Amino acid sequence: MIKLYEHPLSGNAYKAKLLLHQLSVKYEGITVDIFAGEHKKEEFSVLNPNCKIPVLLDGDFVMWESNAILFYLAKKFSPNPYISDDPKIYGSIAQWAFFGKTTIDPNLALARYFVKFLPQDQVPAGAVEKLHVQGNAALAILDNHFFQTEFLCENYSIADIACYPYIMLCGEGGFDLEQYPSVRRWCASVEGTENFVAFTC
């Protein structure tokens, strides 16, 4: 059985969990207590030398990096509606998944970490404000995109799963989604997809 090393507060682990649910794949979830430093122990670094969750174990095959895990699962359990063999649709899915990893998560997820988890005297001066400027620029791009289309690509896909968690959680990092009505409408569309499972913590 597939194993997913995760934590209930991790948006990156939630991506894998959401896709596994939507694919109706049974898996074993293993909580790694990142707040107690379990991910830095040797037994975990053997799985992921970068010492981060999520990690997916499929037999003796190990995968880390949340968006790569989405591509792996979508390919392994194809055909399914969440990925496409069409080169243009596949390319667009990859484009938005990379945009998520390079432009959404580094700003929205890091702002959440600084605001919600890190002791405030350890947050570098001006860091949250800078993340808000960069993150709001990303949200404006998405709001414009969702004004024209329901999902990131032609249909709901792993691109939406890759981008959804830290957008849905961005209020915890001090962002205000009220400014982005099309992004909020997209969140509702994602939450209305088949077998959707909510982020709970």
Ligand X SMILES: N[C@@H](CCC(=O)N[C@@H](CS)C(=O)NCC(=O)O)C(=O)O
Q: Does 12 bind ligand X (CB under 6 A)?
A: yes
Which residue of 38, 58, 65, 150 would you call a contact of ligand X, by CB under 6 A? Answer: 65
Residues in binding contact with ligand X, number by CB under 6 A: 11
Residue 107 neighbours by CB under 8 Å, 6+ apart:
131, 132, 134, 135, 138
Taking each helix axis from N to C end, the angle separating 87-99 and 158-168, rounded to the nearest 10 degrees, works out to: 20
Q: Does 112 bind ligand X (CB under 6 A)?
A: no
Rounded Cα gap, residues 14 and 34, in angstroms: 15
Q: How far is the CB of 67 from ligand X (least distance, A)?
A: 6
Residue 35 neighbours by CB under 8 Å, 6+ apart:
none
Q: Does 115 bind ligand X (CB under 6 A)?
A: no
Q: Does 74 bind ligand X (CB under 6 A)?
A: no
8 A C-beta contact, residue 190 and residue 40: no
* Listed residue (172, 151, 154, 177) closest to 163, CA to CA: 151
Q: How far is the CB of 170 from ligand X (least distance, A)?
A: 14
Rounded Cα gap, residues 112 and 198, in angstroms: 18
State which residue, 57 or 182, has the beta carbon closest to ligand X.
Answer: 57
Q: How far is the CB of 86 from ligand X (least distance, A)?
A: 25
Q: Does 66 bind ligand X (CB under 6 A)?
A: yes
Q: Does 53 bind ligand X (CB under 6 A)?
A: yes
Q: Give contact residues for ligand X (rule: CB under 6 A).
A: 10-12, 34, 39, 52-54, 65-67
